[in-house]
A and B are shown apart, each in its own frame.
Chain A
Amino acid sequence: MRERLSPPAGSRIDRSRPVAFEFEGRAFTGYAGDTIASALAANGAWCLSRSFKLHRPRGSFGFAGDEAGALVQLESEPNVQADTRAVEPGLRVQAQNTVGGLERDQAALLGRFERFLPVGFYYKAFYKPRGVWNWWEKIIRRTAGLGRVDRSWTPEYFDKAYAHCDVAVIGGGAAGLAAAAACGDQGLDVLLIEREPELGGWLTYGRRKSADRTLDDLRRRVQALTSVRVMTSATCTGWYADNWLAVSQGNRLHKVRARAVIACTGGTSQPAVFRNNDLPGIVSAAAAQRLIRHYGVRPGLRAVVLTTGDEGYAAALDLAEHGTDVAAVVDCRPDPPAGPMASQAEARGHRILSGHTVREARRDSQRLQIGGVLVTRVTGPGACAADGEELDCDLLVVAAGVAPAGGLLAQAGAKFRPSGRGAVPRLESLPAHAYAAGVAAGASTVEEALAQGEQAGLAAAADLSGSAAAAPAIAARPAAAEPTVSWPVFPHPDGHEFVDLDEDVTVREIEDALAEGYEDIELLKRYSTVGMGPSQGRLSAIATAAVTAAAQDSTAAAVGATTNRPPSVPTRFGLFAGRGFQPVRHTPMQGWHVDAGAQMMTAGLWMRPAYYGPPEKRADAIADEVLAVRRAVGLIDVSTLGGFEIRGPDALEFLERAYTPSFRRLRVGRTRYALLTDEQGVVVDDGVAARQGPDHYYVTASTSGAEQLYPLLLWYQAQWQLDVDIADVTSAYGAINIAGPQARRVLEKLGIDIGLSPEACPYLAARTGKLAGVDVRLLRIGFVGELGYEIHPPASQSLGLWQALIDAGRDYGIRPFGVEAQRVLRLEKGHVIVTQDTDGLTHPHEVDLGWALGRRKPFFVGKRSIEILREKGLSRRLVGYAVPDRRAAVPDEGHLVVRDGEITGRVTSSAWSPVLDQAIGLAYVAPDQAEVGSVITIKAARGRLVEAEVVRLPFYDPENLRQAI
């Protein structure tokens, strides 16, 4: 490890805690508090990656976590910002986008072919002859892309938290601290969000007077306010509608609702554009100062400083004071105004070359970094002399200006507009309850930032108190701070002046794209890819606007800017996803089913037993369950059925409108089939309505439909405004269907105070009473075609009752049965399952449910449509079919019914019927195929044609003798 600078330089590192890590397989040591990039820089290693397109060596320019050049690979994480990620013991870091390592990247050969890869080259080639692109695409994909994912990696724990506050202040620099303090003084609840590990922003690394107490005073003032909560290492990644903020901190996403937001997001140091401006070792003035003050790293031995303002002189003074030899300060301005730093630099005898620029940078002969610069005279806007002075250096510090970090503000609806010769965006307007201060709002000095922060804080406080119509605090940028030179863009005949380092886009490529007609800034971006990379234009938008304005002989304001979108910095998927709550609904009998060996299947959010037994015995288990129901008695858990209590004087009227049948003549203690259609007459759900009392109905709904049905019923009620109450009691009740010839005996053995004789409790009766001492609702209905009772006990007592039924039924051969057996049983009985045997356009007449329509009712939802559809005549019908050939393939659900090569329908339900000992099913067919006895052709697996005969429904017990006993 090289020697670090002595304190106070290196405020963030703990020199007592060395941290050993690896980069590209080599061992390095940094200190706790270092970032990966600062620890590497301390060892003289600037190059971190290879560029996206040309595989040029790259490092960090800003050391602020913005650029693709600083993205590195960790074992468990691709695309990590090396310049903000803390270094950890044992960390193994790899450079990205290399073939064979950073030093000897074989893909760098691509750079040699650059002249063959003009802007948008992939639109101009690789597509002839037809189909060849599919081959090229794989190669291009392999060369593109940055980090790698490890498919075997298991994610860590992520979670979320909510926070609320009066005022959220984003950014804890000078302006943010002042704003938070001002709001805190007013007694407001403030959340101060700072992305770095400590508060202070520029004040922690910028050049201040040695006795300056500003930062300490501000921190102390904020810490004294109990109503100000401070979050550090917390990044606001999104500012969504209504001041809804996403703030990531470690593996936690904080979702913050703020009444007002003050954005003090600072600025982004901008690169200058000249040949080879991408070499590692070219850094912003702020980056050099961060390395010195935060990490105690001497950024170079011999530096050149390129500047367009006073900031460069400050950096030069800092460098000189910390042991770096400053070869020259190159100032693009022909007659630099005498700024305080410039005057000091001059006084100390620094060599100052005003009216000059760096025309090109030169690579060091040994290392992947800068080795020198060619400094020449500026001859006009964007032009400089070809000849000048060569200066050797291992560091070039660039102070080309700072752009407001306005991404979050723009997301929230603030408007920026490029202004002045430098094309720097300036804040023009703010949405309601949003404020801005500091560099983001145009401040150029600490004093200005502090004043703006204070002012924004007071404005937000006034806004929230409602005491005054607070004017948005937009500071007028003082004329003195306007750049006095054009943006430093110096095209070079040999190119490699990168406007966008992320995407390897040069000046010429922008000019060529414009010449090709991609003149709108959005088209320019999409074609040239400028601004599409990881930094999303934060370091390229101004230069792009400047180049475009120059090429079009226009102004940056007229060129405009592309849209800012969340997130403000790349944000891990895991933070958005969080812990991943995936609700699962279990019936009260879930544990029993699992213990009994049931194979569980999902049904919406619910889990249901498919059948009981091992998967290898699936078919036998289903057949046994079917036969048990037909011959003895079976028990199925139907707790997943929806249940709604519909009560009130208008309960009947509500049912009459929402459901298709008429319930007017339904007596208390009776049930009726309840079919539901939508406005287009399409079948959407079915269930059973039981009249529990004069103004009280209990209505069931299908397992899959219940969840959508409840809001639908509420929506109807919201429109109809009837005197009725609708309650979803799905989870309040369990439901058990006991079916089979022995069902009545099992109930009687168990003890029931409801008379079960066919006279006392006939088919379709609804009763309440006690079964085994449990209060139950008993519906005598059957889906499976046997004597059956649907028992609805309170959920809390359902498991006990289930067990009691199993015990009581043992002597009668009782068996639990699952969804699969139920499907066979109901199919034998010819009952349709809504959504399986119906689709998005099925109306009742197509599935022979015309009998369930209350035709004399003045209205029900869907009535008009159903009548029109009936008038039009049916285009298809659902029929039952049987396959006479017992050796033929059993069709699958979804197989087509075909005739003369045309599709006339499809199979919706199919099963081997253990009772009939043949393949049966339901299928849509053309109306002229629907007659009983018609022969239809089904295109089964592998295109095999199977003949089937249309038969009368139901297949089983057509006289309904068995369920009426």
Chain B
Amino acid sequence: MPLGLLKYGLRPRRSPERFLPPRPELKRAYDTVIIGGGGHGLAAAYYLAVDHGITDVAVLDKGYLGGGNTGRNTAIVRANYLTEDGVRFYAESLDLWRGLSGELDFNLQYTERGHLTLAHADSAIRTMRWRAEVNKHLGVDSELIFPDEIAKLAPGLDLSIDVRHPVLAALYHPPGATARHDAVVWAYAARAAAHGVELHSDTEVTGIQVESGRVTGVETSRGTISCNRVLQAVAGQSSLVAGMAGFRLPIHTVPLQACVSLPLKPWLDPIVVSGSLHVYIWQSARGEVVIGGATDPYGLYANRSSLEFAEGTLLPVLELFPFLANVKMLRQWAGMCDMTPDFSPVMGVTPVENLYIDAGWGTWGFKATPVCGKRMAELIATGRTPDLLQPFRLSRFAEFEQVGEKGAASVGH
């Protein structure tokens, strides 16, 4: 038994210490305002305080902390992207993830399960070999493997060749991991708050004040705040918030749904993704099977679940694992995805001075939480865009310098 629990259990009974602080009064002015109290916004607040000593910061969220996409995504972390820019960025994220439970002194349940992306066509094998080669070249562990090895990693996966979409090969990414997404929110929030950052849940931003091209404040449901700098980190609402500051984003927003099963004893270790069947599946520490699929086919700002998702996603799940037919779905839900044309995020400066953006996270935002927070904090503190973020600047679309990740980002998240 770990020492921490032993100590906890043996000490006399008393109320536990407060971890998340109560919501303070909203001040009239802050140095920096972060719109969005999800993983990204809280991580940025934490690194602003810890790395740069900037603590006059308010994190605003219209609901509860982590109630947006941080709490709705399926918590997969990986770095097996396709472009050099993407791989480097996510590789740094993996490094940060590995030490994050220790740094934040909170068990984020970061579990390296291994990540398998199945290929059902020779075109997919081609792209996966390319991804594996780019990954390996940049020091990220990825390998193209074939059915005999796949069978060892994912026993029970239907590898017969007479099915509609036989499994021909897979991209195996051993560091592929999952984390407890809510824990990430709570830990960043608590540690940022310990350094003086203020957390304001149930505080909706209703307007952004801009004077002569420079941000000067935000209007909220609890009053107006003046500030020197603003970071917007509001996945699923990015275009709407940018609109408050008067600029447009090359983003369209679509729902993405997921579901979990009733808990089962462990039967699946790695994360299994099929790009062509538009489905992915892994089993959580609670034993629940977590399943996700492709984004909904139409744009919508609504979190409603659909029957079509359940039908369209569980069909391919049973193609891969037929014996799950009698396993029961416990719950389905939806989040909102800000999709960019090149399937890469948008991070950096905006047309409004001192207004920084962290957006366009489509279906792949969770895994970038630490690196994005750290590098965005660096940008806000220094005013200089870190090299790692440069490829993801908002202006890349106008400059025809996109970061083409469609082949690696579309499913599997």
Contact = CB atoms under 8 A, between A and B. Distances in A.
A234 to B, nearest CB: 16
6 contacts: A79-B264, A144-B287, A146-B264, A153-B323, A238-B310, A903-B134
Interface in A856-887: 865, 868-869, 872
A36 B110 CA distance: 40
Contacts of A138: 266
A146 B287 contact: yes
A163 to B, nearest CB: 14
A628 B190 CA distance: 72
A78 B327 contact: yes
Contact of B126 (A240, A574, A836): A836
Contacts of B165: 582, 602
B404 A517 contact: no
Contact of A517 (B2, B9, B20): B20
Contacts of A903: 84, 134, 137
A133 interface: yes
A125 B2 contact: yes
Contacts, number: 300
Contact of B285 (A141, A155, A240, A578): A141
Interface string B99-136: 10110001111111000000011110011111111101
A840 B404 contact: yes
B123 to A, nearest CB: 7
Given A144-B263, A144-B287, A894-B126, A77 B326 contact: yes
Interface in B273-292: 283, 285-287
A872 B400 CA distance: 9
A720 interface: no
B330 A241 contact: no
Contacts of A894: 126-133
B407 interface: yes
Given A78-B264, A125-B4, A517-B19, A115 B9 contact: yes
Contact of A137 (B126, B261, B285, B322): B285
Interface in A225-279: 238, 240-241, 244, 246, 255
Q: Which 4 residue pairs of A and B lie closest in terms of their CB atoms, listed nearest first? A: A145-B287, A517-B20, A894-B129, A116-B9
Contact of A573 (B21, B99, B131, B324): B324
A240 B306 contact: yes
B212 interface: no
Given A127-B102, A145-B263, A939-B133, A118 B16 contact: yes
A440 interface: no
Nearest to B322: A155
Given A238-B307, A516-B20, A572 B325 contact: yes
A712 interface: no
Contacts of A892: 129
B324 A113 contact: no
A438 B366 CA distance: 44
A116 B1 contact: yes
A129 B400 CA distance: 46
B16 A149 contact: no
Contact of A133 (B110, B123, B317, B326): B110
Interface in B83-101: 84, 98-99, 101
Contacts of A255: 307
A143 to B, nearest CB: 9
B152 interface: no
A116 B317 CA distance: 38
Nearest to B302: A241
B153 interface: no
Nearest to B156: A151
A154 B158 CA distance: 11
Nearest to A868: B400
A515 B265 contact: no
Interface stretch (B46-54, B63-71, B232-240): B63-71
Interface in B65-80: 65-67, 71
A411 B283 CA distance: 26
B311 A576 contact: yes
Interface in A75-125: 76-79, 113, 115-118, 121-125
Contact of A526 (B71, B110, B164, B261): B71
A154 B287 CA distance: 22
A570 B330 contact: yes
A518 B133 contact: no
Contacts of A113: 1, 9
Interface string B1-32: 11111101100000111111110000000000
Taking each of B180, B186, B400, which has the highest tally of chain A beta carbons within 10 Å of its own beta carbon? Answer: B400
Interface in B328-363: 328-333, 341-343
Interface in A883-924: 892-896, 898, 903, 906, 908
Nearest to B199: A517
Contacts of A896: 130, 133-134, 137
B253 interface: no
Contacts of A512: 15-16
A580 B318 contact: yes
A112 B264 CA distance: 24
Contacts of A520: 64-65, 201
A124 B107 contact: yes
A138 B287 CA distance: 11
A550 B275 CA distance: 49
B324 A146 contact: no
Given A574-B325, A680-B341, A565 B106 contact: no
B402 to A, nearest CB: 6
Contacts of B228: none
Contacts of A536: 330-331
Nearest to B2: A125
Contacts of A122: 107, 109, 285
B207 to A, nearest CB: 25
Contact of A241 (B128, B286, B304): B304
A146 B319 contact: no
B102 A128 contact: yes
A72 to B, nearest CB: 12
A841 interface: yes
A526 B20 CA distance: 14
B183 interface: yes
A387 interface: no
A158 B327 CA distance: 13
B1 to A, nearest CB: 6
Given A244-B307, A536-B331, 4 more contacts: A115-B9, A128-B101, A411-B305, A577-B317
B386 interface: no
Contact of A577 (B9, B128, B325): B325
A908 B331 CA distance: 43
Given A149-B324, A522-B67, A141 B134 contact: no
B110 A523 contact: no
A898 B3 CA distance: 50
Nearest to A140: B285
A586 interface: no
Contacts of B16: 118, 512, 515-516
B141 interface: no
Given A137-B285, A145-B286, A896-B133, A517 B21 contact: yes
Contact of B319 (A124, A580, A895): A580
B314 interface: yes
Contacts of A126: 2, 107
B406 A565 contact: no
Nearest to B3: A125
B101 A133 contact: yes
Contacts of A943: 136
A145 B329 contact: no
**Which among B128, B131, B307 has the greatest number of chain A C-beta atoms within 10 A?**
B307
B164 A584 contact: yes
Interface in B131-164: 131-134, 136-137, 155-156, 164
Nearest to B343: A840
B186 A835 contact: no
A127 B98 CA distance: 11
Given A144-B263, A152-B323, A515-B15, A893 B314 contact: no
